[in-house]
């Protein structure tokens, strides 16, 4: 049978990984797919650089649209990134009747509804395993492996850069800014790391997982996003003393009122497996009513781990290439006419527990005033840790840190209590608030 022909838009780190793994494992992949899969065209503005990557084994063009226009190309792999040109090219490829594989989480988180609708109307597939958690097959697990379950929540470490930074801060006791520079030097963080450290990259990925888990439209604009830039080394140290570790988590939950969709630093019990995921690794926990808790762990980025996911999509499409579109797995797991209209909850309605750190004057009665305000707000306290003043500012210091762990309450109630606590004259700095997730 004639091999499936693939064109790669934007051959770089991931594209070259796809090309090389396909070449290396061609025999095994063909046995699994039922026919060969060949990359016959690649595009890159710098043709010489692309030529150096693929040699004479594929045609190299500067214009990505030349690949889309080629009637022999069956599948287009979009690895350009961004949301402007990539959106145009993906929609053009769909209109031309090509199947699409993409690793572009930002594109799908923002324009996924439009792209999936266009693909459904045209009867082609858009596959995106590589868009979330690199080489971890979490999309296939959510969309197919757990299809018998009513999924209750998904929680994941889905950004390797931030996990590396938090791991280094914990291991070495260094502040965020110092570790960020080291992460940039080692190549874990970009020159402009904003999307990573502010949680945007994780929110793109979480938006896609939430849609598949709960059958809701892609709604990145409704996600709550908070990064790690305000975390201090002392918070990581205090969390450790209390039996927790701080991780940047993407969390999406089904509740009676709607869907939670949020990315923020979280205290996680140190005994949880996900709390022990270190360095640039990724991990995703999924809670289903039938299966219980499952954990997926592996490399979230890199040339060949991501290529592994891209090629898995290529194999899936090859297997289903000639199948009736109505019999294929839906893009977001649920049939398009059966999507839910459950709302994404505003953060004020989210219920969770909290870690609070207050820098206060070392005076009698300060703790009583703080705990009194929490009690007045209906917020119960789980634990209190008060540091000796000498530990904070040295001998003779007049300041100390008070750390409070609370039981569950709504975010809106906690926000109101924080305003009152911050107004106390004995509270000497901005209060640090970190949400706590038991993930039981």
pLDDT tens, N- to C-terminus, the chain (440 residues): 899 999 999 999 999 999 999 999 999 999 999 999 999 999 999 999 999 988 899 999 999 999 999 999 999 999 999 999 999 999 999 999 999 999 999 999 999 999 999 999 999 999 999 999 999 999 999 999 999 999 999 999 999 999 999 999 999 999 999 999 999 998 889 999 999 999 999 999 999 999 999 999 999 999 999 999 999 999 999 999 999 999 999 999 999 999 999 999 999 999 999 999 999 999 999 999 999 999 999 999 889 999 999 999 999 999 987 778 878 889 998 999 899 999 999 999 999 999 999 999 988 899 999 999 999 999 999 999 887 765 666 666 788 999 999 999 999 999 999 999 999 999 999 999 999 999 98
Helix and strand numbers (H, E) in the chain are: 16, 17
Residue 325, pLDDT score:
80
H helices of 226-299, in order, are 233-241
For the chain, domains (ranges, CATH) are 4-137+303-338 (3.40.50.720), 139-299 (3.30.360.10), 351-436 (3.30.70.260)
Structure tokens at 327: 């019999």
Residue 326, pLDDT score:
79
Query: Are 94 and 245 spatial neighbours (Cβ–Cβ below 8 Å)?
Result: no
Cβ contacts of residue 212 below 8 Å, gap of 6+?
Answer: 139, 142, 143, 332, 333
Q: What values do phi and psi take at 358, rounded to 5?
A: -120, 125
Of 291, 216, 290, nearest to 254 (Cα)?
216
Q: CA-to-CA distance for 112 and 87, rounded, in angstroms?
A: 10
Residue 389, pLDDT score:
61
Query: Are 5 and 74 spatial neighbours (Cβ–Cβ below 8 Å)?
Result: yes
Which one is catalytic: 98, 105, 140, 205?
Answer: 205
Beta bridge partners of 401: 359
Cα separations in angstroms, 384 against 38, 204, 367, 381, 389: 61, 36, 10, 8, 16
Return the DSSP state at 435. E
Residue 400, pLDDT score:
92
Of 361, 356, 358, nearest to 399 (Cα)?
361
Cα separations in angstroms, 417 against 47, 73, 235, 369, 413: 59, 60, 20, 12, 6
Q: CA-to-CA distance for 396 and 57, rounded, in angstroms?
A: 73
Return the DSSP state at 344. B
Q: CA-to-CA distance for 206 and 132, rounded, in angstroms?
A: 8
Strands (E), 290-340: 292-299
Q: CA-to-CA distance for 331 and 125, rounded, in angstroms?
A: 8
Cβ contacts of residue 157 below 8 Å, gap of 6+?
Answer: 163, 247, 248, 249, 274, 277, 281, 282, 283, 284
Is 299 among the residues known to form the active site?
no
- Length of the chain counted residue by residue: 440
Quick one: which H or E segment has residue 38? strand 37-43
């Amino acid at each position: 049978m004639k091999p499936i022909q693939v064109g790669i838009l934007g051959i770089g780190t991931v594209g070259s990984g796809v090309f090389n793994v396909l070449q290396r494992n061609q025999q095994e992949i063909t046995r699994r797919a039922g026919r060969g899969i060949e990359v016959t065209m690649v595009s890159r503005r710098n043709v010489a650089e692309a030529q150096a990557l693929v040699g004479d084994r594929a045609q190299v063009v500067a214009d990505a649209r030349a690949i889309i226009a080629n009637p022999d190309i069956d599948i287009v792999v979009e690895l350009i990134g961004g949301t402007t040109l990539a959106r145009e090219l993906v929609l053009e490829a769909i209109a031309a009747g090509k199947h699409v594989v993409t690793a572009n989480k930002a594109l799908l988180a923002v324009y996924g509804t439009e792209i999936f609708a266009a693909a459904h109307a045209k009867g082609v597939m858009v596959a995106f395993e590589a868009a979330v958690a690199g080489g971890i097959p979490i999309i296939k697990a959510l969309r197919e492996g757990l299809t018998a379950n009513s999924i209750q929540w998904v929680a994941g470490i889905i950004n390797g850069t931030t996990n590396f930074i938090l791991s280094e801060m914990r291991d070495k006791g260094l502040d965020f800014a110092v570790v960020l520079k080291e992460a940039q030097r080692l190549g874990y963080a970009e020159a402009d790391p904003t999307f990573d450290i502010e949680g945007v990259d994780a929110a793109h990925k979480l938006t896609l997982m939430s849609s598949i888990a709960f059958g809701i439209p892609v709604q990145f604009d409704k996600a709550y996003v908070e990064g790690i830039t305000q975390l201090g080394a002392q918070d990581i140290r205090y969390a450790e003393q209390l039996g927790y570790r701080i991780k940047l988590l993407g969390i999406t939950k089904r509740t009676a009122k709607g869907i939670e969709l949020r990315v923020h630093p979280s205290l996680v019990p140190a005994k949880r497996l996900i709390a022990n995921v270190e360095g640039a690794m990724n991990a995703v926990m999924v809670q289903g009513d039938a299966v219980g808790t499952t954990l997926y762990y592996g490399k979230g980025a890199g040339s060949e781990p991501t290529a592994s996911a891209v090629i898995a999509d290529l194999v899936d499409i090859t297997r289903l290439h000639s199948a009736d579109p109505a019999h294929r797995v839906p893009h977001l797991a649920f049939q398009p006419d059966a999507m839910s209209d459950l709302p994404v909850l505003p953060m004020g309605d989210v219920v969770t527990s909290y870690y609070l750190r207050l820098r206060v004057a070392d005076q009698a009665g300060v703790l009583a005033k703080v705990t009194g305000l929490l009690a007045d707000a209906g917020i119960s306290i789980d634990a209190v840790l008060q540091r000796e003043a000498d530990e904070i500012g040295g001998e003779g210091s007049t300041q100390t840190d008070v750390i409070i762990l609370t039981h569950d309450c709504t975010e809106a109630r906690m926000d109101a209590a924080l305003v009152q606590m911050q107004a106390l004259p004995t509270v000497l700095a901005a209060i640090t608030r970190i949400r706590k997730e038991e993930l039981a």
